[in-house]
């Protein structure tokens, strides 16, 4: 009796597997289709770099310190911060 029940349960699981995979795929397509969410006030890399260069122009710091601050500034500008 257990063997028969296990065989029926296995057959049912295999029968429903392709249908659930198809449904998951359709749901994923719906979710992932369309335009990505825009970040508020985000800039392109060149826009962010230009703004950061203006901000740090005339700074009295070493090149390495300015380079580190520029990287961080550009990263923040591209994220919209």
- φ and ψ at residue 16, rounded to 5 degrees: -85, -15
List average pLDDT for each run of 10 residues in the chain, which is 81 residues long: 59 58 74 66 90 93 94 92 70
For the chain, give me the number of helices (H) and strands (E)?
A: 3, 0
HEC string for 7-35:
HHHHHHHHHHHHHHHHHHHHHHHHHHCCC
Distance CA 69, CA 73 (A): 6
Same domain, 70 and 45: yes
Question: What's the confidence (pLDDT) of residue 64?
Answer: 95
Same domain, 50 and 81: yes
Domain count, the chain: 2
Domain of residue 67 covers 41-81
Same domain, 77 and 50: yes
């Amino acid at each position: 009796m257990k063997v028969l029940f296990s065989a029926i349960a296995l057959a049912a699981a295999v029968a429903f597997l392709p249908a659930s995979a198809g449904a998951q795929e359709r749901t994923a397509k719906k979710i992932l289709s369309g335009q990505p969410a825009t970040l508020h006030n985000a800039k392109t890399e060149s826009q962010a770099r230009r703004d950061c260069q203006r901000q740090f122009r005339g700074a009295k710091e070493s090149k390495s310190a300015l380079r580190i601050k520029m990287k961080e500034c550009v990263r923040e500008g591209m994220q919209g911060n």
